């Protein structure tokens, strides 16, 4: 393949990018000043080198110090540690934080369960979630888990499957589970919801 096709195939791997848009990106790179491409390459490598993954929430963050292991949200003692919101991806946290309607902790699943796949552990961090829930419950630190996944078939299926997996822990420790309520329309992704919609959905979770 030629360089444009190679670039196109790389951009297609980006979430939500189809072949037509990927090819537009490829031509943009080709037509750009070489200094821009070099700058872009440096920033990509810098992000991969310097951004870390929180071992509790699995949220990516940029450490302020070399010894930082946990994200600012995980370390924030002013947040409600008894609330745990489950999201699909990091950008969903950004959207929810803009609503200023939630002040608990997060857990990033890392994706959604495909409609035909039954092996949850190969697609999402369900094992890590079970471990975190067990640890929080053993310290009496958990009162509610909020499922903030996209309102589409994959999101609904993931919510149902994860609820099934954690049901033994819920029966043992008696914490509540809820999910985003009215104001969060069917087919909507958390990432693309505005702040007021998310605030309303959080207030009316069920």
Listing from the earlier edge strand, what are the strands of the sheet with 80-87? 104-108, 80-87, 144-147, 176-179
CATH classification number, 60-203, choose in 3.40.1190.20, 3.40.1360.10, 3.90.1210.10, 3.40.1440.10: 3.40.1360.10
Q: What integer pLDDT is reported at residue 153 of this predicted model?
A: 87
pLDDT of residue 202: 65
Structure-token pair, residue 14: 């980006």
pLDDT at res. 121? 75
pTM: 0.82
**Containing H/E element for 154?**
helix 153-173
Query: What is the pLDDT at residue 182?
Result: 52
- Contact partners, residue 96, CB within 8 Å, separation at least 6: 85, 87, 102, 148, 190, 198, 202
Question: 49, 151 in Cβ contact below 8 A?
Answer: no
> Rounded to an integer, what distance in angstroms lies between the CA atom of residue 37 and that of residue 103?
39
pLDDT at residue 123 in the model: 85
pLDDT at 87: 96
Token couple for 204: 């009316």
Q: According to the model, what pLDDT value does residue 181 have?
A: 65
Q: Which of 114, 113, 107, 119 is nearest to 148 (CA)?
A: 107
pLDDT beneath 70, residues of the chain: 117-118, 181-206
Q: Give the up-direction half-sphere exposure of residue 73: CA atoms within 13 A in the CB hemisphere.
A: 25
State the DSSP code for 32: S
Cβ(51)–Cβ(43) below 8 Å = no
Q: Give the homologous superfamily in CATH for domain 3-50.
A: RecR Domain 1 (1.10.8.420)
**Residue 37, C-beta contacts closer than 8 angstroms, at least 6 positions apart:** 29
Structure-token pair, residue 100: 């200023």
What is the CB neighbour count within 10 angstroms for residue 82?
14
pLDDT in the model for residue 187 = 46
pLDDT value at residue 174: 95
User: Using CA atoms, how far apart are residues 60 and 52, in angstroms rounded to an integer?
Assistant: 5
Distance separating alpha carbons of residues 125 and 18, to the nearest angstrom: 27
- The reported pLDDT for the residue numbered 22 is 96
pLDDT of residue 204: 59
Distance CA 23, CA 161 (A): 37
Show me where the domains of the chain are located: 3-50, 60-203
């Amino acid at each position: 393949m030629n360089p444009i096709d190679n670039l196109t195939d790389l951009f297609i791997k980006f979430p939500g990018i189809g072949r037509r848009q990927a090819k537009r990106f490829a031509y943009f790179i080709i037509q750009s000043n070489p200094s821009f491409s070099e700058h872009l390459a440096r920033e990509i490598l810098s992000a991969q080198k310097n951004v870390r993954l929180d071992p509790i929430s699995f949220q990516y963050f940029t450490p302020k110090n070399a010894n930082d292991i946990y994200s600012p949200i995980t370390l924030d003692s002013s947040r409600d540690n008894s609330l745990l919101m489950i999201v699909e991806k990091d950008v969903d946290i950004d959207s929810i934080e803009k609503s200023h309607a939630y002040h608990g902790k997060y857990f990033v699943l890392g994706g959604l369960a495909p409609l035909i796949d039954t092996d949850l552990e190969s697609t999402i961090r369900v094992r890590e979630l079970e471990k975190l829930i067990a640890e929080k419950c053993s310290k009496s630190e958990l009162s509610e888990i909020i499922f903030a996944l996209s309102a589409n078939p994959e999101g609904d299926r993931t919510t149902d499957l994860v609820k099934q997996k954690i049901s033994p822990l819920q029966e043992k420790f008696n914490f509540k589970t809820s999910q985003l309520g009215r104001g969060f329309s069917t087919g909507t992704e958390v990432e693309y919801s505005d702040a007021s919609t998310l605030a309303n959905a959080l207030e009316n979770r069920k």
